[in-house]
Amino acid sequence: MKLLRFGEPSAEKPGLMDDTGAIRDLSGSIADISGDVLGDDTLDQLRKLNPKELPVVEGEPRIGACVNGVGKFICIGLNYADHAAEAGMELPAEPVVFFKATSAITGPNDPVEIPRGSVKTDWEVELGVVIGKTAKYISREEAMDHVAGYCVINDISERDFQLHRSGQWVKGKSADTFGPMGPWLVTRDEVADPQNLAMYLDVNGHRYQDGSTRTMHFDVATVVSHLSQFMSLQPGDVISTGTPPGVGMGQKPETYLVPGDIMELGIEGLGVQQQHVEAAE
């Protein structure tokens, strides 16, 4: 299934995309796409619905973030071998873990704001993993049973805040609009191999990132298991699993976002995002 949320900010309704590309309204069946509906039992009940019997959503509504009420927005750094080489850094012995503020989450096509004082706002297309069942001290072999599905994430990053303003990376990762998520949550049964998905990101029509989840250093199962050794993962938590090469910081010369830019990014089978870049007020 392709689950989504449509409508104006803070008033989104749950929906699914049928096999014709039409949005069907799920609000008669569930309240929202959030942690309490992402377990296997509820997802199985939704699969039994006949999409043709659900109301069609007319027009082209705004699409919101594909998960509401995210408890933890966890990110993995330097998780692509080719991106680590681009950054001039060695591959880590264990996953590099940091957090983004959940207030950064926004819809996949909402504007991205360059924060006040920013000089190095960058892009990162990433595979998002959405947790569907509580995971605590689980093995790698158990990990995928705890995954509800996958989505596209743009891990927007302000590199000067991240690297030169002291403290943890969270400063450069958490500005409002720095977490576009969606357009859909694609349930895990529809993703045959999360480690073999093409991914890309363009700015103003120029392709900067053209990679694949094949080059992940730590795969999804390893990441989920590893995180569960340090914290319990709860339904609705989101893990952003790293980015392939081609970020602005890796260009020669370095290239960063400015107001008026347009980003387009996507992952095979998981949909496409497009964001206009604006200056924060």
With cut-offs at 50, 70 and 90, classify the pLDDT of residue 82.
confident
Same structural domain for residues 159 and 23?
A: no
Domain with 128 in it: what CATH number? 3.90.850.10
Q: Is the pLDDT of residue 248 over 80?
A: yes
Among candidate residues 157, 226, 150, 234, the one with its CA nearest the CA of residue 192: 150
Amino acid 166: pLDDT: 82
Same structural domain for residues 39 and 164?
A: no
Amino acid 163: pLDDT: 87
Cα 279 from chain centroid (whole Å):
22
Start-to-end C-alpha separation, the chain: 38
Same structural domain for residues 102 and 241?
A: yes
Query: How many domains in the chain?
Result: 2
Asked whether residue 124 is domain-assigned, the answer is yes
Same structural domain for residues 106 and 220?
A: yes
Same structural domain for residues 13 and 121?
A: no
Same structural domain for residues 154 and 19?
A: no
Facing residues of 274 across strands?
264
271, 172 contact by CB (below 8 A): no
Same structural domain for residues 81 and 37?
A: no
Same structural domain for residues 86 and 49?
A: no
Task: Give the residue-averaged pLDDT of 2-22.
Answer: 97
Q: Is 215 helix (H, G, I), strand (E, B) or coil?
A: helix
Same structural domain for residues 99 and 173?
A: yes
Amino acid 72: pLDDT: 98
Amino acid 197: pLDDT: 98
Same structural domain for residues 36 and 90?
A: no
Amino acid 66: pLDDT: 98
Mean pLDDT of the chain: 96
202, 99 contact by CB (below 8 A): no
Which domain does 232 fall in, by range?
73-279
108, 273 contact by CB (below 8 A): yes
Same structural domain for residues 94 and 229?
A: yes
Same structural domain for residues 182 and 268?
A: yes
Asked whether residue 148 is domain-assigned, the answer is yes
* Per-residue pLDDT tens over the stretch 113-158: 999 999 999 999 999 999 999 999 999 999 999 999 999 999 999 9
Q: Is the pLDDT of residue 215 over 90?
A: yes
Distance CA 173, CA 263 (A): 17
Most distant pair of Cα atoms in the chain: their distance: 55
Q: Is 96 helix (H, G, I), strand (E, B) or coil?
A: strand
**Residue 131 host element (H or E):** strand 125-131
Sign of CA dihedral 129, 133, 134, 139: negative
DSSP assignments along 152-208, one per residue: EEE--EEHHHHHHSSS-GGGGT-STT-EEB-S-EEEGGG-S-TTS-EEEEEETTEEE
